[in-house]
Protein backbone atom coordinates (compact mmCIF):
# COMPACT_ATOMS: atom_id res chain seq x y z
CA UNK A 1 0.00 0.00 0.00
CA UNK A 2 1.58 3.22 -1.18
CA UNK A 3 0.78 5.42 1.83
CA UNK A 4 2.38 3.14 4.38
CA UNK A 5 5.87 4.46 3.59
CA UNK A 6 4.66 7.98 4.17
CA UNK A 7 3.15 6.91 7.47
CA UNK A 8 6.34 5.17 8.58
CA UNK A 9 8.35 8.28 7.77
CA UNK A 10 5.96 10.44 9.79
CA UNK A 11 5.50 8.37 12.91
CA UNK A 12 8.62 6.17 12.74
CA UNK A 13 9.29 4.07 15.80
CA UNK A 14 5.92 4.44 17.38
CA UNK A 15 4.28 2.25 14.78
CA UNK A 16 4.58 -1.16 16.31
CA UNK A 17 3.37 -3.46 13.58
CA UNK A 18 1.81 -3.41 10.13
CA UNK A 19 0.15 -6.50 8.77
CA UNK A 20 -2.16 -7.39 5.91
CA UNK A 21 -5.31 -9.22 6.99
CA UNK A 22 -7.10 -9.75 3.69
CA UNK A 23 -6.66 -8.61 0.11
CA UNK A 24 -7.94 -5.13 0.94
CA UNK A 25 -7.40 -4.88 4.71
CA UNK A 26 -4.39 -3.71 6.69
CA UNK A 27 -3.99 -3.53 10.43
CA UNK A 28 -1.56 -0.98 11.83
CA UNK A 29 -0.71 -1.32 15.49
CA UNK A 30 0.49 1.91 17.05
CA UNK A 31 1.41 3.29 20.43
CA UNK A 32 -1.70 4.37 22.31
CA UNK A 33 -0.43 7.94 22.67
CA UNK A 34 -0.42 8.57 18.94
CA UNK A 35 -3.60 6.62 18.16
CA UNK A 36 -5.71 9.71 17.61
CA UNK A 37 -2.99 11.38 15.50
CA UNK A 38 -2.79 8.44 13.11
CA UNK A 39 -6.59 8.23 12.83
CA UNK A 40 -6.91 11.92 12.10
CA UNK A 41 -3.99 11.74 9.67
CA UNK A 42 -5.91 9.25 7.55
CA UNK A 43 -9.30 10.92 7.93
CA UNK A 44 -7.92 14.27 6.76
CA UNK A 45 -5.58 12.85 4.13
CA UNK A 46 -5.87 15.23 1.16
CA UNK A 47 -5.69 12.46 -1.43
CA UNK A 48 -8.34 10.24 0.14
CA UNK A 49 -11.30 12.51 -0.04
CA UNK A 50 -14.05 10.11 0.96
CA UNK A 51 -12.16 8.35 3.72
CA UNK A 52 -14.44 7.69 6.61
CA UNK A 53 -14.61 6.15 10.02
CA UNK A 54 -16.32 2.86 9.28
CA UNK A 55 -16.38 1.31 12.69
CA UNK A 56 -14.50 1.14 15.94
CA UNK A 57 -14.06 -1.95 18.04
CA UNK A 58 -13.02 -2.21 21.63
CA UNK A 59 -12.00 -5.67 22.82
CA UNK A 60 -11.26 -7.17 26.17
CA UNK A 61 -8.06 -9.04 25.32
CA UNK A 62 -7.08 -9.54 28.94
CA UNK A 63 -7.43 -13.34 28.75
CA UNK A 64 -5.10 -13.34 25.73
CA UNK A 65 -2.46 -10.75 26.50
CA UNK A 66 -3.53 -8.93 29.62
CA UNK A 67 -4.62 -5.79 27.80
CA UNK A 68 -7.60 -4.03 26.29
CA UNK A 69 -7.47 -2.98 22.67
CA UNK A 70 -9.26 -0.52 20.44
CA UNK A 71 -9.27 -0.51 16.65
CA UNK A 72 -10.50 2.34 14.49
CA UNK A 73 -11.49 1.00 11.11
CA UNK A 74 -11.28 3.46 8.26
CA UNK A 75 -12.47 2.88 4.73
CA UNK A 76 -10.87 4.55 1.78
CA UNK A 77 -13.59 5.24 -0.73
CA UNK A 78 -14.33 7.11 -3.87
CA UNK A 79 -11.83 6.81 -6.67
CA UNK A 80 -8.85 6.37 -4.37
CA UNK A 81 -8.38 2.72 -3.61
CA UNK A 82 -10.07 -0.44 -2.40
CA UNK A 83 -8.56 -0.27 1.08
CA UNK A 84 -9.64 -0.70 4.67
CA UNK A 85 -7.23 0.31 7.39
CA UNK A 86 -7.50 -0.74 11.00
CA UNK A 87 -5.54 1.31 13.48
CA UNK A 88 -5.08 -0.57 16.69
CA UNK A 89 -3.68 0.31 20.06
CA UNK A 90 -3.31 -1.79 23.20
CA UNK A 91 -4.30 -0.24 26.50
CA UNK A 92 -3.12 -1.40 29.91
CA UNK A 93 -5.65 -3.46 31.84
CA UNK A 94 -5.43 -1.40 35.02
CA UNK A 95 -5.87 1.99 33.37
CA UNK A 96 -7.56 1.70 29.97
CA UNK A 97 -7.50 5.24 28.60
CA UNK A 98 -6.84 6.73 25.20
CA UNK A 99 -7.09 10.16 23.62
CA UNK A 100 -10.49 10.84 22.05
CA UNK A 101 -10.76 11.44 18.31
CA UNK A 102 -14.15 13.17 18.62
CA UNK A 103 -12.74 16.70 19.02
CA UNK A 104 -11.17 16.29 15.57
CA UNK A 105 -13.82 14.17 13.90
CA UNK A 106 -17.45 14.23 15.07
CA UNK A 107 -18.13 10.82 13.60
CA UNK A 108 -16.21 9.16 16.43
CA UNK A 109 -18.64 10.45 19.05
CA UNK A 110 -20.88 7.40 19.46
CA UNK A 111 -18.14 4.81 19.02
CA UNK A 112 -16.10 6.18 21.86
CA UNK A 113 -19.08 6.50 24.15
CA UNK A 114 -19.97 2.93 23.34
CA UNK A 115 -16.60 1.47 24.37
CA UNK A 116 -16.81 3.57 27.50
CA UNK A 117 -20.22 2.10 28.33
CA UNK A 118 -19.57 -1.50 27.45
CA UNK A 119 -15.90 -2.04 28.26
CA UNK A 120 -15.02 0.77 30.60
CA UNK A 121 -12.35 2.11 28.24
CA UNK A 122 -12.21 5.84 28.74
CA UNK A 123 -11.79 8.27 25.83
CA UNK A 124 -9.99 11.25 27.33
CA UNK A 125 -11.14 14.65 26.16
CA UNK A 126 -14.48 13.45 24.79
CA UNK A 127 -16.81 16.47 24.60
CA UNK A 128 -19.97 14.55 25.53
CA UNK A 129 -19.12 11.55 27.69
CA UNK A 130 -22.71 10.76 28.71
CA UNK A 131 -24.03 7.23 28.67
CA UNK A 132 -25.06 6.10 25.20
CA UNK A 133 -25.87 2.42 25.00
CA UNK A 134 -26.64 1.15 28.48
CA UNK A 135 -30.14 1.65 29.89
CA UNK A 136 -30.88 4.46 32.32
CA UNK A 137 -31.10 2.08 35.26
CA UNK A 138 -27.86 0.17 34.62
CA UNK A 139 -25.43 0.53 37.54
CA UNK A 140 -22.18 2.34 36.84
CA UNK A 141 -18.87 0.44 36.72
CA UNK A 142 -20.50 -2.73 35.37
CA UNK A 143 -19.17 -3.37 31.88
CA UNK A 144 -21.10 -6.07 30.05
CA UNK A 145 -18.73 -6.72 27.16
CA UNK A 146 -15.82 -7.55 29.42
CA UNK A 147 -15.05 -11.23 29.35
CA UNK A 148 -15.60 -11.63 33.10
CA UNK A 149 -19.25 -10.56 32.76
CA UNK A 150 -21.64 -13.44 32.18
CA UNK A 151 -24.31 -12.89 29.53
CA UNK A 152 -27.18 -13.92 31.80
CA UNK A 153 -26.40 -11.27 34.46
CA UNK A 154 -28.76 -8.35 34.67
CA UNK A 155 -27.79 -5.96 37.46
CA UNK A 156 -30.22 -3.33 38.69
CA UNK A 157 -29.31 0.28 39.41
CA UNK A 158 -31.02 3.61 39.90
CA UNK A 159 -32.79 5.22 36.99
CA UNK A 160 -31.20 8.46 35.86
CA UNK A 161 -30.25 10.21 32.65
CA UNK A 162 -28.62 13.64 32.31
CA UNK A 163 -30.48 15.30 29.46
CA UNK A 164 -29.10 18.57 28.21
CA UNK A 165 -30.60 21.72 29.71
CA UNK A 166 -32.94 23.41 27.23
CA UNK A 167 -31.46 26.62 25.76
CA UNK A 168 -32.94 29.79 27.11
CA UNK A 169 -36.48 30.67 26.04
CA UNK A 170 -37.23 27.26 24.57
CA UNK A 171 -39.66 24.55 25.56
CA UNK A 172 -39.17 20.81 25.32
CA UNK A 173 -41.07 19.02 22.56
CA UNK A 174 -40.44 15.30 22.95
CA UNK A 175 -40.66 13.06 19.89
CA UNK A 176 -40.67 9.52 21.19
CA UNK A 177 -39.88 7.10 22.74
CA UNK A 178 -43.30 6.35 21.27
CA UNK A 179 -44.62 8.48 18.44
CA UNK A 180 -46.66 7.58 15.37
CA UNK A 181 -43.90 8.79 13.09
CA UNK A 182 -41.27 6.53 14.65
CA UNK A 183 -41.53 2.89 13.70
CA UNK A 184 -39.29 1.93 16.60
CA UNK A 185 -38.58 3.50 19.98
CA UNK A 186 -36.20 6.45 19.98
CA UNK A 187 -36.30 9.69 21.86
CA UNK A 188 -35.63 12.99 20.13
CA UNK A 189 -35.84 15.83 22.60
CA UNK A 190 -36.52 18.94 20.58
CA UNK A 191 -35.96 22.34 22.15
CA UNK A 192 -38.39 24.60 20.34
CA UNK A 193 -39.43 28.23 20.13
CA UNK A 194 -42.98 28.16 18.77
CA UNK A 195 -42.61 25.67 15.96
CA UNK A 196 -38.94 26.32 15.25
CA UNK A 197 -36.39 23.78 16.41
CA UNK A 198 -33.52 25.49 18.21
CA UNK A 199 -31.66 22.41 19.39
CA UNK A 200 -32.09 18.67 19.81
CA UNK A 201 -30.90 15.98 22.17
CA UNK A 202 -31.06 12.27 21.39
CA UNK A 203 -31.48 9.24 23.58
CA UNK A 204 -31.82 5.87 21.95
CA UNK A 205 -30.73 2.29 22.35
CA UNK A 206 -34.07 1.21 23.77
CA UNK A 207 -34.07 -2.05 21.84
CA UNK A 208 -30.86 -3.74 22.90
CA UNK A 209 -30.91 -7.45 22.41
CA UNK A 210 -27.44 -8.49 23.42
CA UNK A 211 -26.63 -9.95 20.02
CA UNK A 212 -22.89 -9.42 20.25
CA UNK A 213 -22.58 -10.81 23.75
CA UNK A 214 -24.66 -13.86 22.88
CA UNK A 215 -22.63 -14.44 19.72
CA UNK A 216 -19.40 -14.29 21.69
CA UNK A 217 -20.69 -16.44 24.53
CA UNK A 218 -22.69 -19.33 23.21
CA UNK A 219 -23.05 -19.53 19.41
CA UNK A 220 -21.06 -21.15 16.63
CA UNK A 221 -20.05 -19.52 13.34
CA UNK A 222 -23.03 -20.89 11.44
CA UNK A 223 -25.56 -20.02 14.14
CA UNK A 224 -24.43 -16.41 14.16
CA UNK A 225 -25.49 -16.09 10.49
CA UNK A 226 -29.08 -16.36 11.61
CA UNK A 227 -28.87 -14.04 14.57
CA UNK A 228 -26.95 -11.54 12.42
CA UNK A 229 -29.84 -11.58 9.99
CA UNK A 230 -32.15 -10.73 12.86
CA UNK A 231 -30.22 -7.57 13.67
CA UNK A 232 -32.65 -5.84 11.35
CA UNK A 233 -36.15 -6.63 10.20
CA UNK A 234 -35.70 -4.77 6.94
CA UNK A 235 -32.13 -5.11 5.78
CA UNK A 236 -31.16 -8.27 7.68
CA UNK A 237 -29.71 -10.07 4.70
CA UNK A 238 -26.94 -7.54 4.20
CA UNK A 239 -26.01 -8.02 7.86
CA UNK A 240 -25.67 -11.76 7.55
CA UNK A 241 -23.79 -11.33 4.28
CA UNK A 242 -21.34 -8.93 5.89
CA UNK A 243 -20.83 -11.35 8.76
CA UNK A 244 -20.31 -14.29 6.42
CA UNK A 245 -17.82 -12.33 4.37
CA UNK A 246 -15.83 -11.53 7.48
CA UNK A 247 -15.65 -15.16 8.59
CA UNK A 248 -14.94 -16.34 5.05
CA UNK A 249 -12.04 -13.89 4.83
CA UNK A 250 -10.72 -15.02 8.20
CA UNK A 251 -10.93 -18.69 7.24
CA UNK A 252 -9.80 -18.08 3.65
CA UNK A 253 -12.86 -19.94 2.42
CA UNK A 254 -13.41 -19.93 -1.33
CA UNK A 255 -17.12 -19.20 -1.86
CA UNK A 256 -18.61 -20.77 -5.02
CA UNK A 257 -19.48 -18.24 -7.68
CA UNK A 258 -23.09 -19.27 -7.94
CA UNK A 259 -23.55 -18.51 -4.24
CA UNK A 260 -22.08 -15.04 -4.74
CA UNK A 261 -24.57 -14.36 -7.52
CA UNK A 262 -27.49 -15.63 -5.46
CA UNK A 263 -26.40 -13.37 -2.61
CA UNK A 264 -26.20 -10.44 -5.00
CA UNK A 265 -29.70 -11.03 -6.30
CA UNK A 266 -31.14 -11.35 -2.80
CA UNK A 267 -29.28 -8.25 -1.63
CA UNK A 268 -30.73 -6.23 -4.46
CA UNK A 269 -34.24 -7.60 -3.93
CA UNK A 270 -33.86 -6.53 -0.32
CA UNK A 271 -32.80 -3.08 -1.42
CA UNK A 272 -35.86 -2.86 -3.69
CA UNK A 273 -38.25 -3.69 -0.87
CA UNK A 274 -36.46 -1.42 1.59
CA UNK A 275 -36.46 1.63 -0.68
CA UNK A 276 -40.11 1.10 -1.60
CA UNK A 277 -40.93 0.83 2.08
CA UNK A 278 -39.10 4.10 2.72
CA UNK A 279 -40.96 5.87 -0.08
CA UNK A 280 -44.25 4.76 1.42
CA UNK A 281 -43.31 5.99 4.87
CA UNK A 282 -42.16 9.36 3.54
CA UNK A 283 -45.50 9.80 1.74
CA UNK A 284 -47.43 8.81 4.84
CA UNK A 285 -45.57 11.28 7.03
CA UNK A 286 -46.52 14.14 4.76
CA UNK A 287 -50.15 13.00 4.70
CA UNK A 288 -49.95 11.67 1.13
CA UNK A 289 -51.49 8.29 1.78
CA UNK A 290 -52.09 7.43 -1.87
CA UNK A 291 -48.33 7.38 -2.48
CA UNK A 292 -47.93 5.32 0.68
CA UNK A 293 -50.42 2.67 -0.40
CA UNK A 294 -49.09 2.38 -3.93
CA UNK A 295 -45.45 2.19 -2.84
CA UNK A 296 -46.31 -0.61 -0.45
CA UNK A 297 -48.43 -2.37 -3.06
CA UNK A 298 -45.38 -2.53 -5.35
CA UNK A 299 -43.25 -3.64 -2.42
CA UNK A 300 -45.61 -6.54 -1.93
CA UNK A 301 -44.59 -8.03 -5.32
CA UNK A 302 -41.03 -8.15 -4.05
CA UNK A 303 -42.09 -9.69 -0.74
CA UNK A 304 -44.06 -12.44 -2.48
CA UNK A 305 -41.15 -13.12 -4.77
CA UNK A 306 -38.75 -13.42 -1.83
CA UNK A 307 -41.13 -15.80 -0.15
CA UNK A 308 -41.08 -18.06 -3.21
CA UNK A 309 -37.30 -17.86 -3.53
CA UNK A 310 -36.30 -18.38 0.08
CA UNK A 311 -39.38 -19.48 1.99
CA UNK A 312 -39.67 -16.18 3.87
CA UNK A 313 -40.99 -12.74 3.04
CA UNK A 314 -38.20 -11.25 5.09
CA UNK A 315 -35.34 -12.66 7.15
CA UNK A 316 -34.49 -15.01 4.32
CA UNK A 317 -32.17 -17.21 6.38
CA UNK A 318 -30.29 -18.56 3.37
CA UNK A 319 -26.81 -17.34 4.23
CA UNK A 320 -24.22 -19.65 5.71
CA UNK A 321 -20.51 -19.25 6.14
CA UNK A 322 -19.20 -20.48 2.80
CA UNK A 323 -22.21 -19.82 0.63
CA UNK A 324 -25.99 -20.11 0.65
CA UNK A 325 -28.44 -22.81 1.68
CA UNK A 326 -30.92 -22.61 -1.16
CA UNK A 327 -30.49 -22.73 -4.90
CA UNK A 328 -32.63 -20.92 -7.46
CA UNK A 329 -34.60 -23.35 -9.56
CA UNK A 330 -34.96 -22.46 -13.21
CA UNK A 331 -38.68 -21.75 -13.19
CA UNK A 332 -38.15 -19.37 -10.30
CA UNK A 333 -35.79 -17.34 -12.46
CA UNK A 334 -38.76 -16.63 -14.67
CA UNK A 335 -40.71 -15.44 -11.64
CA UNK A 336 -38.00 -12.91 -10.88
CA UNK A 337 -38.14 -11.67 -14.46
CA UNK A 338 -41.92 -11.30 -14.25
CA UNK A 339 -41.76 -9.28 -11.06
CA UNK A 340 -39.06 -7.03 -12.48
CA UNK A 341 -41.16 -6.41 -15.56
CA UNK A 342 -44.17 -5.46 -13.46
CA UNK A 343 -42.07 -3.26 -11.21
CA UNK A 344 -40.51 -1.44 -14.12
CA UNK A 345 -43.80 -0.34 -15.57
CA UNK A 346 -45.61 0.43 -12.31
CA UNK A 347 -42.70 2.04 -10.50
CA UNK A 348 -42.30 4.52 -13.34
CA UNK A 349 -45.90 5.51 -12.87
CA UNK A 350 -45.50 5.85 -9.12
CA UNK A 351 -42.49 8.12 -9.54
CA UNK A 352 -44.45 10.26 -11.99
CA UNK A 353 -47.29 10.52 -9.49
CA UNK A 354 -44.94 11.53 -6.71
CA UNK A 355 -43.01 14.12 -8.64
CA UNK A 356 -46.18 15.65 -10.03
CA UNK A 357 -47.73 15.99 -6.57
CA UNK A 358 -46.78 19.60 -5.92
CA UNK A 359 -47.64 19.55 -2.23
CA UNK A 360 -45.39 16.52 -1.65
CA UNK A 361 -42.41 18.06 -3.42
CA UNK A 362 -42.95 21.29 -1.53
CA UNK A 363 -42.62 19.44 1.76
CA UNK A 364 -39.38 17.71 0.74
CA UNK A 365 -37.54 20.50 -1.04
CA UNK A 366 -34.98 22.48 0.93
CA UNK A 367 -35.85 20.67 4.16
CA UNK A 368 -33.36 18.96 6.48
CA UNK A 369 -30.30 20.09 4.58
CA UNK A 370 -27.05 18.33 5.50
CA UNK A 371 -24.18 20.14 3.76
CA UNK A 372 -21.27 18.13 2.36
CA UNK A 373 -18.85 19.36 5.01
CA UNK A 374 -21.05 18.16 7.88
CA UNK A 375 -21.79 14.92 6.05
CA UNK A 376 -18.06 14.27 5.92
CA UNK A 377 -17.49 15.24 9.54
CA UNK A 378 -20.18 12.87 10.73
CA UNK A 379 -18.98 10.12 8.35
CA UNK A 380 -22.54 9.55 7.11
CA UNK A 381 -23.06 6.92 4.46
CA UNK A 382 -25.58 5.45 2.05
CA UNK A 383 -28.31 7.51 0.39
CA UNK A 384 -27.93 10.16 3.09
CA UNK A 385 -24.27 10.67 2.21
CA UNK A 386 -24.91 10.45 -1.53
CA UNK A 387 -27.71 13.00 -1.24
CA UNK A 388 -25.15 15.36 0.29
CA UNK A 389 -22.57 14.84 -2.44
CA UNK A 390 -20.48 12.05 -0.89
CA UNK A 391 -19.56 9.92 -3.87
CA UNK A 392 -19.10 6.50 -2.35
CA UNK A 393 -20.78 3.16 -2.43
CA UNK A 394 -19.34 -0.03 -0.98
CA UNK A 395 -20.61 -2.04 -3.94
CA UNK A 396 -18.49 -0.02 -6.34
CA UNK A 397 -15.52 0.95 -4.17
CA UNK A 398 -14.99 -2.35 -2.37
CA UNK A 399 -16.69 -4.91 -4.61
CA UNK A 400 -18.04 -7.96 -2.80
CA UNK A 401 -20.37 -10.81 -3.79
CA UNK A 402 -20.72 -10.52 -7.59
CA UNK A 403 -20.74 -6.74 -7.83
CA UNK A 404 -17.28 -6.68 -9.39
CA UNK A 405 -18.68 -8.32 -12.55
CA UNK A 406 -21.74 -6.13 -12.85
CA UNK A 407 -22.29 -2.70 -14.25
CA UNK A 408 -24.23 0.00 -12.41
CA UNK A 409 -24.27 3.71 -11.68
CA UNK A 410 -24.02 5.36 -8.27
CA UNK A 411 -26.37 8.34 -8.15
CA UNK A 412 -25.04 11.38 -6.27
CA UNK A 413 -26.84 14.64 -5.55
CA UNK A 414 -25.37 17.79 -4.07
CA UNK A 415 -28.42 19.49 -2.53
CA UNK A 416 -28.42 17.48 0.69
CA UNK A 417 -32.16 17.94 1.39
CA UNK A 418 -34.91 15.38 1.83
CA UNK A 419 -35.76 15.55 -1.86
CA UNK A 420 -32.16 14.71 -2.83
CA UNK A 421 -32.28 11.63 -0.60
CA UNK A 422 -35.58 10.61 -2.16
CA UNK A 423 -34.16 11.01 -5.67
CA UNK A 424 -31.07 8.98 -4.78
CA UNK A 425 -33.31 6.16 -3.59
CA UNK A 426 -35.54 6.35 -6.66
CA UNK A 427 -32.53 6.06 -8.95
CA UNK A 428 -31.12 3.24 -6.86
CA UNK A 429 -34.31 1.28 -7.40
CA UNK A 430 -33.78 1.51 -11.17
CA UNK A 431 -30.16 0.45 -10.73
CA UNK A 432 -31.16 -2.48 -8.52
CA UNK A 433 -33.57 -3.75 -11.15
CA UNK A 434 -30.79 -3.49 -13.72
CA UNK A 435 -28.30 -5.28 -11.43
CA UNK A 436 -30.71 -8.17 -10.85
CA UNK A 437 -31.31 -8.51 -14.59
CA UNK A 438 -27.59 -8.73 -15.27
CA UNK A 439 -26.97 -11.15 -12.42
CA UNK A 440 -29.76 -13.41 -13.67
CA UNK A 441 -28.31 -13.41 -17.17
CA UNK A 442 -24.82 -14.26 -15.98
CA UNK A 443 -25.83 -16.65 -13.19
CA UNK A 444 -23.14 -19.37 -13.28
CA UNK A 445 -23.81 -23.03 -12.50
CA UNK A 446 -22.15 -25.20 -9.92
CA UNK A 447 -22.05 -25.59 -6.19
CA UNK A 448 -23.63 -23.18 -3.75
CA UNK A 449 -21.88 -24.00 -0.50
CA UNK A 450 -18.20 -24.46 0.38
CA UNK A 451 -17.23 -26.72 3.24
CA UNK A 452 -14.89 -25.48 5.90
CA UNK A 453 -13.26 -27.12 8.89
CA UNK A 454 -11.25 -25.35 11.53
CA UNK A 455 -10.87 -21.59 11.22
CA UNK A 456 -7.59 -20.45 12.78
CA UNK A 457 -8.18 -18.60 16.07
CA UNK A 458 -7.49 -14.92 16.84
CA UNK A 459 -7.65 -13.64 13.30
CA UNK A 460 -9.19 -10.23 12.93
CA UNK A 461 -11.05 -9.22 9.83
CA UNK A 462 -14.01 -7.14 8.71
CA UNK A 463 -16.76 -7.77 6.22
CA UNK A 464 -18.63 -4.88 4.61
CA UNK A 465 -21.74 -4.52 2.52
CA UNK A 466 -23.76 -1.64 1.15
CA UNK A 467 -27.09 -1.94 2.93
CA UNK A 468 -30.09 0.04 1.64
CA UNK A 469 -29.22 2.61 4.32
CA UNK A 470 -25.47 2.68 3.82
CA UNK A 471 -22.33 0.87 4.83
CA UNK A 472 -22.61 -2.16 7.13
CA UNK A 473 -19.39 -3.25 8.79
CA UNK A 474 -19.01 -6.48 10.71
CA UNK A 475 -15.81 -7.09 12.62
CA UNK A 476 -14.95 -10.62 13.62
CA UNK A 477 -12.08 -11.82 15.77
CA UNK A 478 -12.03 -15.57 15.57
CA UNK A 479 -11.69 -17.64 18.68
CA UNK A 480 -10.72 -21.19 19.50
CA UNK A 481 -13.00 -24.11 18.59
CA UNK A 482 -14.93 -22.39 15.79
CA UNK A 483 -16.52 -19.70 17.92
CA UNK A 484 -16.00 -15.97 17.73
CA UNK A 485 -13.89 -14.19 20.31
CA UNK A 486 -15.20 -10.73 19.48
CA UNK A 487 -18.02 -9.76 17.17
CA UNK A 488 -18.93 -6.17 16.44
CA UNK A 489 -21.73 -5.29 14.01
CA UNK A 490 -22.09 -1.74 12.84
CA UNK A 491 -25.22 -0.83 10.94
CA UNK A 492 -25.48 2.08 8.53
CA UNK A 493 -27.80 4.05 10.79
CA UNK A 494 -25.15 4.08 13.52
CA UNK A 495 -23.21 6.61 11.47
CA UNK A 496 -26.25 8.46 10.15
CA UNK A 497 -28.33 8.99 13.27
CA UNK A 498 -25.87 11.23 15.18
CA UNK A 499 -26.10 13.71 12.30
CA UNK A 500 -29.86 14.12 12.69
CA UNK A 501 -29.74 16.90 15.34
CA UNK A 502 -27.66 18.95 12.90
CA UNK A 503 -30.29 18.39 10.22
CA UNK A 504 -33.19 19.37 12.48
CA UNK A 505 -31.85 22.67 13.71
CA UNK A 506 -33.65 25.64 12.17
CA UNK A 507 -36.57 23.67 10.74
CA UNK A 508 -40.02 23.26 12.29
CA UNK A 509 -41.65 20.49 14.27
CA UNK A 510 -43.79 19.84 11.19
CA UNK A 511 -40.64 18.86 9.31
CA UNK A 512 -39.11 16.86 12.14
CA UNK A 513 -40.73 13.46 11.44
CA UNK A 514 -39.91 13.71 7.75
CA UNK A 515 -36.30 14.74 8.41
CA UNK A 516 -35.83 11.92 10.90
CA UNK A 517 -37.38 9.47 8.47
CA UNK A 518 -35.33 10.78 5.56
CA UNK A 519 -32.22 9.00 6.79
CA UNK A 520 -34.35 5.84 6.80
CA UNK A 521 -33.39 5.17 10.40
CA UNK A 522 -33.24 1.64 11.67
CA UNK A 523 -33.04 1.75 15.43
CA UNK A 524 -32.92 -1.94 16.16
CA UNK A 525 -30.01 -2.22 13.72
CA UNK A 526 -28.12 0.43 15.55
CA UNK A 527 -28.92 -0.88 18.96
CA UNK A 528 -28.04 -4.53 18.61
CA UNK A 529 -25.60 -4.71 21.47
CA UNK A 530 -26.58 -5.11 25.07
CA UNK A 531 -28.31 -7.44 27.48
CA UNK A 532 -32.09 -7.58 27.55
CA UNK A 533 -33.53 -4.44 29.09
CA UNK A 534 -36.98 -5.03 30.48
CA UNK A 535 -39.04 -2.03 31.40
CA UNK A 536 -42.71 -2.63 30.79
CA UNK A 537 -45.15 -2.34 33.63
CA UNK A 538 -46.14 -6.00 33.57
CA UNK A 539 -42.58 -7.06 34.07
CA UNK A 540 -42.18 -4.81 37.07
CA UNK A 541 -44.95 -6.74 38.78
CA UNK A 542 -43.19 -10.00 37.95
CA UNK A 543 -39.94 -8.57 39.35
CA UNK A 544 -37.35 -8.01 36.72
CA UNK A 545 -34.76 -10.42 37.96
CA UNK A 546 -37.16 -13.34 37.96
CA UNK A 547 -38.41 -12.40 34.55
CA UNK A 548 -34.93 -12.24 33.10
CA UNK A 549 -34.04 -15.63 34.52
CA UNK A 550 -37.25 -17.09 33.15
CA UNK A 551 -36.73 -15.69 29.69
CA UNK A 552 -33.14 -16.85 29.56
CA UNK A 553 -34.21 -20.31 30.60
CA UNK A 554 -36.87 -20.28 27.93
CA UNK A 555 -34.46 -19.28 25.20
CA UNK A 556 -31.93 -21.90 26.29
CA UNK A 557 -34.45 -24.59 25.56
CA UNK A 558 -34.64 -23.47 21.94
Partner 1 sequence: MMEKIVFALITVMIIFLLPPLLDGISRKVKAKIQYRVGASIFQTYYDLQSLLNMEPILPTERLAFRIAPYIAFASALAAALLLPFGSFVPVAFTGDFFVFLYVLAMFSVAMMIAGFSVNNSYTNAGANREMMLILSIEPVLGVAIGVFALNAHSLSIGGIPLNITFTPSLILAYVLLAYAVYVEGGFIPFDIAEAETEILEGPLCEYSGRLLGMFKWAMLIKRLALLWLFVSFLVLPIMKNIIDITTFTGGLATLAVQLIVLFIIYSIIAIIEASNARLRIDQAIRQNTRVFLAGLVVLLIAALGW
Query: Which are the contacts of 409, defined by CB distance < 8 A and separation ≥ 6?
Result: 427, 431
Residues in region 174-213 near partner 1 by CB under 8 A: 174, 179-181, 192, 194-195
One of 139, 287, 348, 480 touching partner 1 (CB under 8 A)? 287
Contacting range for partner 1; rule: CB under 8 A; set: 170-178, 249-257, 265-273, 403-411? 170-178
* Nearest residue to 245 via CA among 97, 440, 466: 466
Least Cβ distance, residue 271 to partner 1 (angstroms): 24
Query: Which are the contacts of 109, defined by CB distance < 8 A and separation ≥ 6?
Result: 102, 126, 127, 128, 498
Residue among 297 and 409 whose Cβ is closer to partner 1: 297
Residue among 86 and 513 whose Cβ is closer to partner 1: 513
477-503: b or e for each residue (b if 16 or more CB lie within 10 Å)?
Answer: bbbeebbbbbbbbbbbbbbbbbbbbbb
148: enclosing H helix or E strand: none
Q: What are phi and psi of 551, to 5 degrees?
A: -70, -35
Site string for partner 1, 455-494 (x = CB under 8 A): ----------------------------------------
Residues in region 346-375 near partner 1 by CB under 8 A: 353, 357, 359-360, 362-363
Least Cβ distance, residue 21 to partner 1 (angstroms): 46
Residue among 183 and 544 whose Cβ is closer to partner 1: 183
89: enclosing H helix or E strand: strand 83-92
* Nearest residue to 57 via CA among 99, 86, 30, 15: 86
Residues in region 301-320 near partner 1 by CB under 8 A: none
Q: What are phi and psi of 55, to 5 degrees?
A: -165, 170
What's the alpha-carbon Rg for the chain, to the nearest Å? 23
Asked if 342 is part of the footprint of partner 1 (rule: CB under 8 A), the reply reads no
Residue among 484 and 512 whose Cβ is closer to partner 1: 512
Query: Which are the contacts of 172, defined by CB distance < 8 A and separation ≥ 6?
Result: 166, 189, 190, 191, 192
One of 51, 109, 286, 478 touching partner 1 (CB under 8 A)? 286
Site string for partner 1, 500-529 (x = CB under 8 A): --------xxxxxx----------------
Residue among 279 and 309 whose Cβ is closer to partner 1: 279
Residues in region 215-274 near partner 1 by CB under 8 A: none
Least Cβ distance, residue 508 to partner 1 (angstroms): 7
Least Cβ distance, residue 524 to partner 1 (angstroms): 21
CA angle 184, 185, 189 (to 5 degrees): 130
Asked if 170 is part of the footprint of partner 1 (rule: CB under 8 A), the reply reads no
Asked if 283 is part of the footprint of partner 1 (rule: CB under 8 A), the reply reads yes
Q: Give how far Cα 66 sits from Cα of 128, 178, 484, Å.
A: 29, 43, 19
Q: Is 159 helix (H, G, I), strand (E, B) or coil?
A: coil
One of 93, 142, 293, 550 touching partner 1 (CB under 8 A)? 293
CB atoms within 10 A of CB 348: 11
One of 225, 262, 285, 424 touching partner 1 (CB under 8 A)? 285
Least Cβ distance, residue 300 to partner 1 (angstroms): 11
Total interface residues for partner 1 by CB under 8 A: 34
Sheet of 171-175, strands arranged across:
171-175, 187-193, 196-203
| Site residues (vs partner 1, CB under 8 A) | 171-174, 179-181, 192, 194-195, 283-291, 293-294, 297, 353, 357, 359-360, 362-363, 508-513
Amino acid sequence: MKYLEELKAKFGERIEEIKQLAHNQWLITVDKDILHEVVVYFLKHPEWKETQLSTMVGTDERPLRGKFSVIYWLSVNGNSDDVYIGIKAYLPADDPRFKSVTPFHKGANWYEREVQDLLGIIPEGHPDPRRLVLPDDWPSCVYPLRKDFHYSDSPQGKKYYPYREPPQGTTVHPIGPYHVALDEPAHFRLYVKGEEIIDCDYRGFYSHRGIEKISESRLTYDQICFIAERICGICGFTHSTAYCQAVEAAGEIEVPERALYIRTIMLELERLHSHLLWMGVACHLTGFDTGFMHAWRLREYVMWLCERLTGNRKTYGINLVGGVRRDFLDYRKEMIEDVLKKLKSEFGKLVDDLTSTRTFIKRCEGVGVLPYKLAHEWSVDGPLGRGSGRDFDVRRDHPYAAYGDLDFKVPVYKEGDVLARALVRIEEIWESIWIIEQALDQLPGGDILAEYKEIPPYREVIGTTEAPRGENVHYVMTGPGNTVYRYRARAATYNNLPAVPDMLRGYTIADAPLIIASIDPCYSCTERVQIVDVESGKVRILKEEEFNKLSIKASRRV
